[in-house]
Chain A
Amino acid sequence: MNKFIATLLSLAFLTLPTYGIEMAPIPEVEAIETEEVVTEEVKELPYNYESTYKVPIKLGIVEPITTKGETLYEGQTLQFKVLQDTYCRRKTFLKKGTIVNAKIETLISSGMNGFPAEIILGNFEIPGTKPSQLVDTYTKKGQNRCYIVYPIKWALTIIPFVGSLTNFIKGGHARIKAKDEIVIYYYPDWK
């Protein structure tokens, strides 16, 4: 019984420092409570995406382009024309035929295994709008030949190395033709 009491006492004694550690922050907490409550100012964000009202702007390219022949480069300015009169809250916002500039953001060349080439456009300069009010990234891909490549590859896997030959099938080039309709969105209520 004495041993049991001695063990309990020793346990209580040994755990005292732990309580000490746990209790240590209490004065700090009290100190905080007595201090004046300082409210942090909420910074105004440079954007506000609350509004869902959007105006679709339909564009067509002036000069057709293609990734074939390495004539395109990133940062290149391209011209587009507005395909139809565009209205924003019942007022004419853009007239048909207005010329709009845009840039090639990124070019992805076609690759093995049927990977298609890709043109990513952005930075559309629409008169009377701010870049922050536009959702203006447009991507045009070439023909994705992986739908042909992968089944053939798997079918030929039974013959050693032959399936790998499909690696050399390249994807299609990306083209933006004059008749292609490019739609970008203008959010007039966004900052």
Chain B
Amino acid sequence: MKKIITFLVLLLCTTPVFAATTSSDITKETEIQTRIDSVAVKLLNNNKITKRIIFAYDKRAKKKALSTDKALTKRQIIIYDGLYQHIQTDDELAAMMAREIATAMKSYDGSFGGWIDSAQVALGSKKFETVSDKRAVDYLVNAGYNPLAVIIFINKTCPQKRHDTFSRHNLTSKRLARVYEYITFKYPQYLENNEYINNEYYQNFLLTSVENRKKLEKKIRTKSTKDVDYE
């Protein structure tokens, strides 16, 4: 009997500790959700996106394998904690969400309430990965964020595979080079007055993209309109 009472007493003692932890967690999550909503609504309103899209923070590190992308099915963008931990500035957060907005917008197009287009985005993710990156740059510029944050976000979060021939995803170095090219041609002012020149992550991108940037320089020099074969 004594043991049971002792156990119950110990259990009672620990309860407030759990309560305190949960309370601080809730406060932290609320702060994160508020930050996400604030940046997201700025992106939606400034880009005059006339379709409904919502945003939710999820404590899990990443999406479950084989689960459907809610951006396509419910137009609900989930920001997983594993990615959120990489975010430092609002520019980077906007970059992450702008990519997802571009994906969610595709789900509104086409026949059967966008079902066909959503299936195509899900199946042809390699192609639409590049499209989402480029649209994200446009969305960021329209909302007053720096589009170079897209480069920093991708550079920080996406691993570099060996090849992409049979993959559903592009090589990260190719994606980065295409985004850089897009900014070079469409928004050169962000490179001329580069706010990120002293950013270590941006410098890391410059260091790892020397060969691809050389190819871009050649394209500019020769005034070619053909796609560059990036590495």
Contacts and interface: CB of A to CB of B under 8 A. Distances in A.
Interface of A: 3, 7, 10-11, 14-15, 17-18, 21, 45-47, 49, 70-75, 105-106, 108-109, 111-113, 115, 122, 135, 139, 144, 146-147
Contacts of B109: 139
A14 B9 contact: yes
B116 interface: yes
Contacts, number: 63
Contacts of B127: 108-109, 111, 115
B9 A7 contact: yes
Contacts of B227: 70
Choose among B15, B120, B225 the residue with the greatest number of A CB atoms under 10 Å from its CB. Answer: B120
Interface string B106-149: 00011000001001100110010001001100100000000000
Given A15-B16, A111-B124, 16 more contacts: A11-B9, A14-B12, A15-B12, A21-B16, A21-B20, A46-B46, A47-B46, A49-B45, A70-B227, A74-B134, A74-B186, A75-B185, A75-B186, A108-B127, A113-B123, A113-B124
A132 to B, nearest CB: 8
Contact of B131 (A47, A70, A71, A108): A108
Contacts of A108: 127, 131
Interface in B23-78: 45-46, 48, 50
Contacts of B182: 74
A47 B45 contact: yes
Contacts of B120: 113, 115, 144, 146
A170 B131 CA distance: 18
Contacts of B5: 3, 7
